[in-house]
Amino acid sequence: MMGIVDDILSAGLELDGIAFYNKSGQIGHIGFSCLPCRYRFAISLPQSQTEQILLQLLVRYGLDVERERELVALSQTEDRVVAVIRGSDGSEELLESELLIGCDGAHSGVRHALNLSFEGEEYSETFLLADARVQSSLDRIHIHLFLADDGIVGVFPFRSEHSRVIASLGSHKGNAEEEPRLAEVQALLDRRTCQSLRLSDPAWLSRFHISQRKIREFRFGRVFLAGDAAHIHSPAGGQGMNTGIQDAFNLAWKIGLAIHGRAPVSLLDTYNEEREPVAKMVLNLTDRLTRMATLQNPFGLQLRNALLPLLTGIHLIEDRVAETMSEISIHYRRSSAVAGKSGWALHAGDRAPDCTLFDGVSEKTILLLDRLRKPVHQLLLFAGNSLQDAIDFDRRRKMLAGDYAQVMDTLLVIHGKSSATPDVLFDLDGAVHTLYEAQPTGIVLIRPDGYIGFRCGGNQIDALHEYLARLFLPSH
């Protein structure tokens, strides 16, 4: 995942936040600098470039995407999934596998083959989209949203001189199949914005509708659905790609363990248990944002325009909105796949916060979450600054490393920079022990998707062994 992130960062434009306007000028702002992560910004990148980055990554792994092939039939038995694939020449091929994942978008053939209901509705508004050169005095480090009485206009800068412009039209105005003219988009900008924005050199113009829909269950026997195949929603908040990627990441590490016989098949049930509530939350949030942005009621418009500068001016609310939009605040605390004593601010099921440690072997500082480049669990044994605890924890580390070598890296973290044991990560000033509430000692297991699977005090090693025995199958 980190390699993909690096490629996207180099290709995309970093945006610091969202600026809100009405006809009088700017009325609100939400910044991303507060985000508790290393990426305190949004990335603006056309979908075509994102797809190209993903395809190049697959090529590096020796994989190929086959185009012009369609799923036409799907069936499953107790131990297999059988799919019929039709090529553009009409030929058909039978494919069998242990599991099948439908990541095939809003018109998912997998979902249709399973006859799953895609519950929800289409919004009445029609939207215009234009990727074009925008000449204006607007900065290129913010998303700019203009809230007018008759609709909204959003300007999303790209790294190139082009920007994406999206505007609402109201209830089903115009044929969605009819390509809009640049002059139509320009007229909306002239009427709704408080800036002088001139469009030229369009690369893409389209008219579209949006829906909010979701299936009830993300697993159907040996078939799983992820991303737009399982849920679609308004682009308000820019959460679509993040939500789909998190679906895939959540499912991938579980399937990897299950199909290699290193975890019980029941672990796969927790995919729906963890991700379906997240999809429901995202649909509810984007629905509220969309309805707020497309208000037509005069009283509602006045209330929105009056409250927006007040709410975005309160740092606590601004930070909470930013964390929700970035999806950093998502957690799996209620999942049956996580465990650990409660009572901490940082719970099992929460996203593991990043931090800096000093590697005693390489004698370099490292970022903890960079270790997630390796698709295994990371077990952190926080030994504090006690020499005896460090020796005891190192003995436990070696035992656990032998028992779970294929599924887990075991790391000893010591407060300070001296140790009687090798292969140690040093928490030089104790900040990481404080961050993970591991004082004087503690145990934290981080899953491959970056969430805490288990945590306990350093004296509760039996609870850790019980959790690991439940999560993993014995190696043979």
| 1 confidence band (pLDDT: 50, 70, 90) | low
Number of residues that this document lists for the chain: 476
The answer, yes or no, to whether residue 438 has pLDDT greater than 60, is yes
Distance (Å, whole) CA 154 – CA 378: 41
Distance (Å, whole) CA 448 – CA 87: 36
- 3-class secondary structure per residue, 391-427: HHHHHHHHHHHHHCCCCEEEEEEEECCCCCCCCEEEE
Q: For the CA atoms of 366, 368, 372, 378, what is the dihedral angle to 10 degrees?
A: 120
| Average pLDDT for the chain | 90
| 422 confidence band (pLDDT: 50, 70, 90) | low
Closest CA relative to residue 445, chosen from 346, 356, 364: 346
Please name every residue paired with 44 in a beta bridge, in sequence order, or none if there are none.
Answer: 13
Distance (Å, whole) CA 99 – CA 103: 13
Distance (Å, whole) CA 403 – CA 25: 63
Q: Is the peptide bond before 157 cis (omega within 30 degrees of 0)?
A: no
- What does the pLDDT look like over 294-341, one tens digit per residue? 777 888 878 887 888 877 778 888 888 888 888 999 999 999 999 987
pTM for the full model? Answer: 0.91
User: Which pLDDT score is estimated for 85?
Assistant: 96
Range with the poorest average pLDDT among 167-171, 257-261, 456-460: 167-171
| Domains, the chain | 2-14+28-117+216-326 (3.50.50.60), 122-211 (3.30.9.10), 339-471 (3.40.30.10)
- What does the pLDDT look like over 92-111, one tens digit per residue? 999 999 999 999 999 999 99
- What does the pLDDT look like over 332-386, one tens digit per residue? 999 999 998 767 889 999 999 999 999 888 888 999 998 888 889 999 999 998 8
Residue 375, token pair as written in the block: 């698709």
Sheet order of strands, 25-31 included:
25-31, 17-22, 142-148, 151-157, 162-171, 125-135, 198-208
Compute CA distances 62 → 57, 58, 59, 98, whole Å.
9, 6, 5, 21
